[in-house]
């Protein structure tokens, strides 16, 4: 039996490929985003720490109430706040905004019955009335108590955002102050209390040029005329005044409109000397007489 030799088969080559690591995915992107966010937060905190108190309060107010009030929106920067004007159309909105700001301070909840806001012909009148035991000031003194201190600071921060001017008034009841021989009386007490409120508010938000009047009325404008000794007659009044239109520049300068053509000199006539002032009478030269000899000048 003949056995044939099998044909040689082609060699089989086995190639081993190196193992590849798995794909990294996007985990590094998340870590990078967290890093950038942390750095941004750090820079914001450093900026706030170096900013003024007004800027810090404005940023804090935004996070407390992001929506804000459309008609009273704006930051504490002068470019936006000082352009905001309260007039007769939106004075009621200012009243509601102030009431809301006072309610947000828990310490002032007990004072709400002693705060009265009324829109008048002058503007928004805010009155802080006293009680029998003294609410805002110590009895017979111009020293501000703790509750009034916090309230006046809140009002100063809100009113300092306005362009409107503010007038401050002090009032007392009809009870005589101390002994009759003292030179210090209700007139001095009412004025001193209004000035004490002004100093506190100007150091906490109100601009130096915002207060235009500080008035003390003693007992001349009682809140309750039929009860002159009532404690509510002792009060401090803050009036947010309406803005008035600026008068015309000519009126301020004391000038009047007149015809500009009056400044032009009248046409010259023969024999007249032109004058610089049109209101002065022209000087007429006498006609020359050829027969008349000039007079000799007398010696000096």
Residue 102: which domain range?
84-241
Question: What is the per-residue pLDDT across 26-59, written as a single tens digit (0 to 9) for each?
Answer: 788 889 999 999 999 999 889 888 888 778 777 8
Q: Whole-angstrom Cα distance, residue 31 to residue 213?
A: 60
Average pLDDT of span 210-227: 94
Q: Which residue has better confidence, 238 or 20?
A: 238
Inside any domain, residue 275: no
pLDDT for residue 264 is more than 80: no
Instruction: Tell me if 115 is assigned to some domain.
Output: yes
Are the C-beta atoms of residues 241 and 168 closer than 8 Å to each other? Answer: no
Which of 31-40, 87-96, 136-145, 260-269: highest mean pLDDT?
A: 31-40
Q: Is residue 273 part of a domain?
A: no
Q: How many CB atoms lie within 10 A of CB 74?
A: 15
Is 225 inside any structural domain? yes
What lies within 8 Å, CB to CB, of 263 at 6+ separation is 278
- Global model pTM greater than 0.75: no
* CA-based nearest residue to 99, from 126, 122, 131: 126
Q: Which long-range contacts (CB under 8 A, 24 or more apart) does 202-209 make?
A: 202/156, 204/152, 204/153, 204/156, 204/157, 205/54, 205/153, 205/156, 205/157, 205/158, 205/159, 205/160, 206/156, 206/159, 206/160, 206/166, 207/160
- Kindly state whether residue 70 falls inside one of the protein's structural domains: no
Q: What are phi and psi of 293, to 5 degrees?
A: -85, 145
CATH number of the domain at 175, please: 3.30.1330.60
> For residue 203, is it within any domain?
yes
Question: How crowded is residue 20: how many other Cβ atoms within 10 Å of its Cβ?
Answer: 6
Residue 210 lies in a domain: yes
How many structural domains comprise the chain? 1
134 assigned to some structural domain:
yes
Confidence of residue 277 (pLDDT cuts 50, 70, 90): low
């Amino acid at each position: 039996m003949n056995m044939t030799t099998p044909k040689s088969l082609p060699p089989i080559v086995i190639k081993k490929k190196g193992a590849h690591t798995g794909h990294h995915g996007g985990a590094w992107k998340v870590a990078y985003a967290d890093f950038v966010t942390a750095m941004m937060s750090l820079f914001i905190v450093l900026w706030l720490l170096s900013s003024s108190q007004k800027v810090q309060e404005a940023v804090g107010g935004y996070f407390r109430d992001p929506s804000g009030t459309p008609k009273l929106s704006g930051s504490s920067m002068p470019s936006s706040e000082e352009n905001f004007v309260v007039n007769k159309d939106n004075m009621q909105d200012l009243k509601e905004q102030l009431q809301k700001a006072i309610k947000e301070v828990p310490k002032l909840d007990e004072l709400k019955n002693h705060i009265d806001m009324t829109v008048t012909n002058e503007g928004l009148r805010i009155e802080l009335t006293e009680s029998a035991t003294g609410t805002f000031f110590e009895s017979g003194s111009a020293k501000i108590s703790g509750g009034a201190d916090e309230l006046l600071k809140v009002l100063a921060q809100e009113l300092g955002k306005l362009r409107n001017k503010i007038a401050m008034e002090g009032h007392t009841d009809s009870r005589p102050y101390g002994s009759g021989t003292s030179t210090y009386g209700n007139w001095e007490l009412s004025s001193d209390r209004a000035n004490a409120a002004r100093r506190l508010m100007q150091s906490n938000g109100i601009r130096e040029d915002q207060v235009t009047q500080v008035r003390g009325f003693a007992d001349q404008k009682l809140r309750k005329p039929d009860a002159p000794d009532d404690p509510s007659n002792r009060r401090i009044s803050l009036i947010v005044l309406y803005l008035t239109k600026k008068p015309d520049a000519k009126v301020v300068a004391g000038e009047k409109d007149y015809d500009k053509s009056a400044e032009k000199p009248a046409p010259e006539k023969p024999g007249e000397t032109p004058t610089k002032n049109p209101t002065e009478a022209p000087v007429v030269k006498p006609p020359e007489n050829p027969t008349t000899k000039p007079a000799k000048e007398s010696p000096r």
